[in-house]
Structure 1
């Protein structure tokens, strides 16, 4: 039987395979092209790096808040805002407590910024209460943003070893970037918003966005007027009725995003300190009030007008009658509720006044103040997550407010506190931090009280004036439109001139502070000069030269406690023999020999002057032993004289004088004490002639 010859089929690939290959090619080829474009754009460094942190230029061992980080959240990069530059180490030191701050314009400290902000008040207090600890407080807040930015930043913050996160946000939820009623709105669908935010990391997406913006700018003739503020430019859909669909979108957006933020930090076991919100309830008339429709409008308007007329004539009984009638006919008038609050406040019915003010705020159709519902949401979220602590900033403000209703005495405009308000805000966070294990345990002998904080916080007069000038400038524009506000901006003296230049971007803050320092030193105003240097320290707490400059001014002012503090901070950053010598001399001068020993030891090990410090150490150890003996026998004149004599051997007049006075008080006729007084006087004369 013959074998059949098998001839290979000449048929090509099957139709299904061809379709499959074509399908893969259709998908794969464009994908490869897009990847190549992305690679090319990255190769030539096109676009922006929108990661949260970048290397700090002057020192690559540090990171700093990326000025371009906000561009991911704005559909128009011309609106994007920048924040603080507060360098922190890539590798956190063991002795460092690192705290991140998230939020919006109030959180960054508008209108003062810099040392007016609550986190700087907090930083100053923590630095002086725990002088041996290093605090890195990095404020990542921005103006014109909301919970979307807080959530986006939170996703990166968890990777940088935070010991705590402080959050104050909510007032910008409707009009801030990506808000439900913002010009920078993308979509009401969170999945779409988050997808677009992720895509904006790609250079290709940035290229497409930039091309679109250029085309839109080319064809759009309705360009914004230069006089328009960011508030006006961001508020596309200005009027939002209470409980409307748009209002509900904003509430749900806030609730969902904040829940995601707290869940994220809870998963990473990071303590969160979440504040409720504060606004001007008593002294800010609502911006927009809706009127009733149909037949009710004429009756409502008549009663409201008569009530307002009676109020202006101080006829509070008549005002309440007519306004109450108007409110019964139509209970959604923000203006009517506000004036009912004013009437009740004038009559002394403060609890009822509070209810009317809060309702007026909720009904305000221009939502630059968060509705009270947000505070309820924040409270409930804190109960849901065990590592989240509610900071009752509102309660703290109410405790200082007139009859516990917040108004102009603490708030400058609609939501931004004055300097005392920011101090109170910092105190609320401080007290909550003290309840947890975030801050060190142990002796709080150095604790700075709130009263001391108010007295010593280094906010320059120029910074204070600049804050008020920004508010006057704000109120001259929409939605305040106060025609006289700008008249309050003066430049009649040096401090006002510096402030004017700062507010209207004629000089940077650092340049202004350096000019102010030179001005104060030139007029021998050393206390103000020191405050300026201390404000620069808060801006750049890793700069040892600033601590030395502050210490020198402290010495001029004979503030030895502050001198010691600043020299120790400088020494910790950059140890040297000269700094160690200043420190141990000051400790001995202040009769703290135990604290002097480590610095004497450093001086012995790093002696660059040829001084014989071994004798000094022996004298110091002798004083330490004598002081221990004195504690068991505080009336022993012999021990007191021995301490004084040892201090005189070290040329320490202050230490010697302290113990000579104690000995003289116990026994003024003691021969050795009299001899020591004579030696002290001779030493004083000798030092005066040096």
Structure 2
């Protein structure tokens, strides 16, 4: 036994290298296991991809906004919002200007969406002003988000060849996802928010979040968090006093995220156009006013109520004096400040009214309208960064508002513009793009703002559906308005389709398809074309809508518009028929030089029995004759030759135009008179048939 004990040798101490190896393994093993779980979850396709863009399912050559991209910003996935589906090419063409749009509900065009959004007004105007350029305007805005999403999306879009970024954001700062007053907030620490946003891309974190939500629902007896409007579901703190800690945290959150966004884009030398904010100041009372202190409450309430009584009876001077006295006792009561501004406005003191309306908005404890300090932040940051341009939407809206104070004339409720307001928002960004030299405009070719208002394809169904949505919104919190029986008059075909769209009984595509069929049955070709133009803006990669718009334009004898849409269709899907339409239309408008590329294509892809080579010879002769006439404008003989060639080509319109030119110069010209007689005879014969 003693010998056995003596022979026992304690184990040798591990070498320092092995100790280090053990420690490294102990540290790395949990990370390895976490990584393995992440790989397994991804292999089984658990969770969702939160990348900003995904491959467009309908065409692998395009990217499109990922419908799951917003889920990074919402804890409650049931209220996560989705945006537009606007595909853009993976490889940007040389002749393309690519613009990304960042923002929230106003920026995406609520309550109209689709062509109501300001970016579609901008798209339409740019496309018609620069007919030979391509514009990819991709709206990445979402409802119920704020500057966290703007910054997060900006970090990703810089890798997709943007030529410019347009930003309109701020009204959702307090109650949008991750806002300081939102139910979706994570905490008061911005760095913690950034960390959690980073972690949410991992499927393991998504699994833990989903498990937590399941346990929460079970503990709560299966109660759902859904129900009520998203507006109400997003609000945690209905009372955020002006100047309070929570208010200042919201301002700082906005400043920090916008500062990071503009710095990021500036570092990438990407031009940024950021707009200041507009809201309804004149015609929207504050939602929440805070009680005044007990020391003055009795006297304040007495004067305030006397002011209300006087205002109700129309005694404006007395109402103003009582509101002013109450305001002197407490100048932080939002409603008193608003009514003081209202009485000043009704008495014609618009300067005082404007100041008081603005202050009343800032004092409103329910922060659905951005305070004026946000515009100060945007102005300051715009001066700080190169390539950043401040877009003064507020000044333009004031210019179009009664007495320079923004109200119901342009705003539907609290912050969302009506259709004219969205047109104005597009106008101010358009002018900013010109001023920033992103576009250079030829005045003769430019679509004016007045023409845009007249031509913009927005259907009656879209317009009505937007108004119905707002009327329905105002029935709910925080507006709680009582709607009259006439609020939803549903009699005409357009009204029925709009109501179905508002109540989600039909899809937007189906509503427009039914509207188009109705107009075609009614032979309302102009209205039918507007529907097709609307669809062409919604689906810019689908040549069918361009071609249908072109055909309807031809039936309406609108040749310029027919050419515009045939060219768009041809660029996407060139065919012999489209080329034939184009060169014929150009020749009818006496633009032979522009007809040649399409004539050449038609010759190379000739699917008809027509001798297009002889047509080309005639066109080349006309081009040569026109070049000669440009240097010898008194030579009537050249005009006669052009008219004769057009007549030989059976181009009656071209022939007639030149005959008129000749007879204006020489009323007795025999050749022109003979051609005129032949045209008249042909016209009479065609009428007999």
Coarse TM-score class (shorter-chain normalised):
over 0.9
In structure 1, the residue matched to 2:531 is 532
Give 3-state SS (helix, strand or coil) of 2:60's partner. Answer: strand
Q: What is the deviation of 1:20?
A: 5.7
Q: Does the residue aligned with 2:327 lie in a helix, a strand or coil?
A: helix
2:341 is matched with which residue? 341
Give the whole-Å Cα distance in 2 for the aligned partners of 1:77 and 1:21.
Answer: 43
Contact persistence 1:100–1:139 (CA under 8 A)? yes
Instruction: Indicate conservation of the 8 Å contact 1:476/1:486, yes or no.
Output: no
Which residue number in structure 2 is paired with residue 409 of structure 1?
409
Q: Decide whether the 8 Å contact of 1:472 with 1:486 is kept in 2.
A: no
Name 1:289's counterpart in structure 2: 289
Most deviating of 105-114 and 604-613: 604-613
In 1, the alpha carbon distance for the partners of 2:617 and 2:8 equals: 105
Distance across 2 between alignment mates of 1:458 and 1:180: 39
Q: 1:31 Cα shift?
A: 2.1
Shift of 1:632: 4.3
2:612 equivalent in structure 1: 613
The equivalent of 1:44 in structure 2 is 44
**Residue pairs, 1:500-515, within 5 angstroms:** 500-515=499-514
Tell me the alpha carbon deviations over residues 291-316 of structure 1, each in whole angstroms, 9 at most, x when there is no partner. Answer: 21122001111111111211122211
* Bigger mean CA deviation after superposition, 363-372 or 506-515: 506-515
1:584 equivalent in structure 2: 583
- Deviations 1:396-431, CA, capped at 9 Å, x for gaps: 101100011000000000000000000000000000
Contact 2:434 2:441 in 1 (8 A): no
RMSD: 1.9
Deviations 1:30-88 (A, max 9, x none): 22221111110010010011111111111111111111100000011011000100111
1:435: Cα distance to partner?
A: 1.6
Cα shift at 1:633: 4.7
Task: Go from structure 1 to structure 2 and tell me whether the alpha carbon gap of 1:221 and 1:492 turns closer, same or farther (over 3 Å shift).
Answer: farther
Match of 2:546 in 1: 547
When structure 1 is superposed on structure 2, of 159-168 and 626-635 the one drifting more is 626-635
In the superposition, the TM-score normalised over structure 1's length comes to 0.96
> Are positions 1:277 and 2:240 aligned together?
no
Residues in 1 aligned to 2:16 and 2:672: alpha-carbon distance in whole angstroms: 113
Match of 1:625 in 2: 624
Counterpart secondary structure, 1:676: helix
CA distance in 2, matches of 1:32, 1:689: 88
Q: 1:473, 1:485 within 8 Å by CA — same for their partners in 2?
A: no
For 1:31 and 1:599, the matched residues in 2 are separated by: 63
Q: Is the 8 A contact 2:226 2:233 kept in 1?
A: no
In the aligned structure 2, how far is the partner of 1:589 from the partner of 1:687? 19
Alignment match, 1:677? 676
CA contact (8 A) 1:273 1:391 kept: yes
Cα deviation digits, residues 550-573 of structure 1 (max 9, x gap): 111111111111001111111111
Q: SS state of the match for residue 659, structure 2? A: helix
Partner in structure 2 of residue 180 of structure 1: 180
Query: Could you state the TM-score of these two structures normalised by the residue count of structure 2?
Result: 0.96
Tell me if structure 1 keeps the 8 A contact 2:99–2:136.
yes
Decide whether the 8 Å contact of 1:472 with 1:485 is kept in 2: no
Q: 1:645, CA displacement in angstroms?
A: 1.4
SS of 2:61's partner is: strand
Q: How many residues align?
A: 683
Q: Unaligned 5+ residue runs, structure 2?
A: 1-6
Cα shift at 1:217? 1.3
Please report how far the alpha carbon of residue 627 of structure 1 lies from its aligned counterpart in structure 2 after TM superposition: 2.6
Q: What is the SS of the residue equivalent to 2:241?
A: coil
Q: Distance in 1 between matches of 2:124 and 2:554?
A: 20
Paired position in structure 1 for 2:4: none
- CA shift in 2, pair 1:658/1:328, >3 Å: same
2:122 aligns with 122
CA contact (8 A) 1:183 1:234 kept: yes
Tell me by how many angstroms 1:330 deviates.
Answer: 0.3
For residue 492 of structure 1, report the CA deviation from its aligned partner.
1.5
Equivalent residue runs for 1:22-41 within 5 Å: 23-41=23-41
How far residue 682 of structure 1 moved from its aligned partner, in angstroms, is 3.0
CA contact (8 A) 1:641 1:676 kept: no
Change (3 A) 1:207 1:485: farther
Residue in 2 aligned with 1:494? 493
Q: Secondary structure at the match of 1:394?
A: helix
Contact 2:78/2:226 (<8 A) preserved:
no
Deviation string, structure 1 residues 121-171 (Cα, Å, up to 9, x no partner): 000001100111111111000000000000000000000000110000000
Shift of residue 19, structure 1, vs aligned partner = 7.2
Give the deviation of 1:244 after TM superposition. 0.1
- The whole-number CA distance in structure 2 between the counterparts of 1:535 and 1:93 is 24
Matched, 1:163 2:167: no
- SS of 1:135's partner is strand
In 1, Cα distance between equivalents of 2:159 and 2:9: 62
Counterpart in the other structure of 2:640: 641
Partner of 1:3: none
Q: Using the TM superposition, name which of 634-643 and 162-171 deviates more.
A: 634-643
Q: CA deviation at 1:659?
A: 1.4
1:161-182 C-alpha deviation (Å, 9 max, x unpaired): 0011000000000000000010
- SS at the partner of 1:64? strand
Distance 1:471 1:571 in 2: 40
Q: What is aligned with 1:471?
A: 470
Residue 597 of structure 1 aligns with which residue?
Answer: 596
Structure 2 vs 1, CA of residues 16 and 673 (structure 1 numbering), >3 Å: closer, same or farther?
closer
List gaps (5 residues or longer) in structure 1.
1-6
Over 3 Å counting, the alpha-carbon distance change for 1:17 and 1:256 in structure 2 is same
